[in-house]
């Protein structure tokens, strides 16, 4: 009997981050990755955008496994927020498990995490179905792709990868032999990362930071401070190798950096001789020209810490950036972080230090470019192809690349989907696409406000914050006596972020008069439904302000009844 297969994305299509793909085979659900995304400036006060897990919670009895391909937030960061409500075995490497446990330690779970630890190249049977993992080269240590066996052939999910034959560090090798072994069986559906699909050639060697900074390690007679995002493990390994090759001493800037480096050393994706590490109490005993200070961080927090170093408001006052230092920024800002990154760079230049800013044109992220994608396509020759992970431009570029390969892919077997759409294969193998049904499979992001607190932020709150940041707020209040049916105090009208108050007396008076008129009229007809009164007043005030100066501030009418 042929398997019935459904494939859908809860996140990751036409966006960066929130990667989560649902593979439904004969009503058994396998979840590939489960990530989050960082908000941009249009979503004020929000820390993370999560995968919407309502579909998984509603179908938790059918969940067989979460397959976490590597230790990046965009692939695993959402899991802790809903694991209690939809638990299932988490299949990952020992390194990814350690990162999950370290990162999730602040989140108390009622249900203990259930891990199935695998090697990055290995096989496992879950729910009577064989899964094959193959190690990929990516900037997270021990990353892997996965192939799920079906009666129609393998469903292969590459996750993030590049084709790099020169990597010698075991944590980052690309296992070509494992991929070749998969090619011996038919590939029914290939799902490939699209983030670099618009760029020609191979990603390697443009992902390496070493050629860009090694001269500062070899020839520099100054102390080096260098920053990096903590989840870019490959780049951290390059920095460590440069320290080893040039007899540099390495100091971990703060407790967070030390914890991350201890985790890396435990699994040995970063080989650090003990005599190279500077203990906290020995920092001032090391010659400055021999010292490298490593600063790790997460998102905007890293750039905020750099500003503190320049201002002298950081915790360790021994680490100050001066004109005798070299500062190397190996943390390349994503689009959502460019504003804070630019501000921190401005602070760095004020110190007079030699500042080395590496740009995204010089150093690319480790995602497959066109030749990397062609390699996978030519080796596996899939019957069907589904580009995943990336904006629509990237998905389309990936699809067009597949069509150009001459391996039997065309507009009937290459698919571009939106989140929530289902690619279905019946017993006879014919594909069909079901449109998104939000009531069955909601895909709008869940917004998290407050680090470490699982809180869904309503979209209306975000709209209010956005309105406050642009047009400000108007608050108008008064008190009424229900017994006397009259206003006994007020009105009082206040404005913030709207217009300069001293120049707004006529506007304040008009807004107050409108509010008084609405309340007085309601009281005269014994209408004590003050929610209705406030709604009417809010609309009249909104129209008046819009007519007077074209602005639309948030309007908050308050009625205190006594």
d(Cα 411, Cα 401) in Å, to the nearest integer?
A: 12
Q: Alpha-carbon distance 98 to 113, whole Å?
A: 12
Q: Is 23 exposed, middle or buried (0-12, 13-18, 19+ CB in 10 A)?
A: buried
CATH code for the structural domain at 210-357? 3.40.50.10710
Give me 318's structure tokens.
């021994």
Domain with CATH 3.60.15.10 in the chain: 5-202+365-448
In angstroms, rounded to a whole number, what is the distance separating the alpha carbons of residues 141 and 269?
Answer: 7
For the chain, residues classed under CATH 3.40.50.10710 are 210-357
- Report cis status (omega within 30 of 0) of the bond before 205: yes
Neighbours of 345 (CB within 10 A): 16
- Over the chain (562 residues), the average pLDDT of each successive run of 10 is 93 91 96 87 70 93 96 89 90 91 66 89 94 93 95 94 85 90 94 93 90 89 91 90 91 90 77 84 89 90 90 87 90 82 90 90 89 94 95 95 93 94 88 91 80 47 58 86 86 75 73 90 86 89 82 86 84
Q: What is the dotted CATH code of the domain comprising 472-561?
A: 3.10.20.580
Structure tokens at 286: 């090391």
pLDDT value at residue 452: 43
Sequence-distant contacts of 19-28: CB under 8 A, at least 24 apart: 19/74, 19/75, 19/388, 19/389, 20/51, 20/78, 21/157, 21/191, 21/388, 22/55, 22/56, 23/148, 23/155, 24/62, 25/129, 25/148, 25/150, 27/62, 28/62, 28/64, 28/127, 28/129
Residue pointed to by tokens 């979460």? 66
Pairing of strands 325-329, 223-229: parallel
* CATH value of 5-202+365-448 in 3.60.15.10, 3.30.499.10, 3.40.50.200, 3.30.360.10: 3.60.15.10
Tokens standing for 384? 């069907």
- The encoded tokens of residue 485 equal 């049916």
Q: What is the pLDDT of residue 465?
A: 60
A 10 A CB-CB count for 167 gives: 16
Residue identified by tokens 């940041």 is 469
């Amino acid at each position: 009997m042929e398997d019935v297969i459904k494939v859908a994305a809860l996140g990751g299509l036409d966006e960066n981050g929130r990667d989560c793909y649902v593979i439904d085979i004969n009503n058994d659900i396998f979840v590939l990755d489960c990530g989050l995304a960082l908000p941009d400036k249009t979503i004020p006060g929000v820390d993370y955008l999560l995968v919407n897990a309502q579909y998984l919670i509603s179908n938790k009895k059918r969940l067989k496994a979460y397959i976490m391909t590597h230790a990046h937030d965009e692939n695993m960061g959402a899991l802790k927020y809903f694991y209690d409500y939809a638990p299932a075995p988490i299949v990952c490497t020992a390194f990814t498990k350690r990162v999950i446990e370290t990162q999730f330690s602040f989140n108390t779970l009622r249900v203990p995490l259930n891990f199935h630890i695998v090697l990055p190249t290995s096989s496992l049977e879950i729910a009577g179905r064989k899964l094959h993992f193959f190690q990929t080269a990516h900037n997270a240590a021990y990353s892997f792709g996965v192939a799920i066996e079906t009666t129609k052939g393998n469903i292969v999910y590459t996750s993030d990868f590049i084709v790099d034959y020169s990597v010698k560090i075991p944590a980052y090798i690309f296992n070509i032999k494992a991929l070749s072994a998969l090619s011996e069986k038919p590939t029914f559906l290939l799902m490939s990362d699209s983030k670099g699909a618009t760029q020609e050639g191979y990603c390697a060697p443009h992902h390496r930071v070493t050629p860009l900074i090694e001269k500062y390690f070899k020839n520099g007679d100054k102390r080096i401070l260098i920053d990096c995002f903590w989840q870019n493990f490959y780049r951290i390994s390059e920095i460590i190798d440069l320290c080893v090759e040039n007899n540099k001493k390495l100091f971990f800037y703060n407790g967070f950096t030390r914890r991350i480096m201890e985790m890396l050393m435990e699994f040995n994706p970063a080989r650090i001789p003990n005599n190279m590490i500077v203990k906290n109490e020995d920092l001032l005993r090391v010659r400055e020209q021999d010292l490298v200070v490593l600063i790790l961080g997460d998102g905007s927090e890293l750039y905020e810490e750099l500003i503190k170093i320049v201002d002298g408001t950081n915790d360790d006052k021994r680490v100050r950036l001066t004109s005798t230092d070299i500062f190397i920024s190996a943390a390349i800002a994503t689009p959502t972080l460019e504003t804070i990154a630019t501000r921190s760079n401005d602070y760095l230049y004020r110190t007079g230090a030699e500042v080395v800013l590496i740009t995204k044109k010089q150093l690319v992220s480790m995602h497959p470019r066109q030749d990397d994608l062609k390699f996978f396509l030519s080796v596996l020759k899939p019957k069907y192809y589904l580009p995943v992970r990336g904006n629509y431009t990237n998905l389309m570029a990936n699809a067009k690349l597949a069509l150009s390969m001459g391996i039997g892919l065309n507009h009937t077997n290459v698919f571009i989907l939106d989140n929530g759409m289902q690619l279905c294969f019946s017993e006879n193998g014919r594909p069909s696409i079901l449109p998104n049904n939000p009531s069955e499979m909601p895909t709008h992001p869940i917004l998290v406000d407050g680090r470490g607190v699982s809180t869904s932020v309503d979209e209306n709150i975000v709209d209010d914050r956005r309105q406050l940041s642009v047009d400000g707020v108007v608050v108008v209040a008064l008190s009424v006596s229900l017994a006397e049916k009259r206003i006994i105090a007020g009105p009082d009208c206040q404005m913030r972020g709207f217009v300069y108050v001293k120049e707004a007396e006529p506007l304040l008076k008009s807004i107050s008069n409108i509010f008084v008129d609405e309340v007085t009229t309601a009281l005269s007809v014994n209408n004590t439904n003050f929610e209705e009164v406030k709604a009417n007043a809010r609309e009249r005030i909104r129209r008046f302000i819009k007519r007077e100066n074209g602005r639309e501030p948030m309007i908050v009418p308050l009625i205190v009844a006594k």
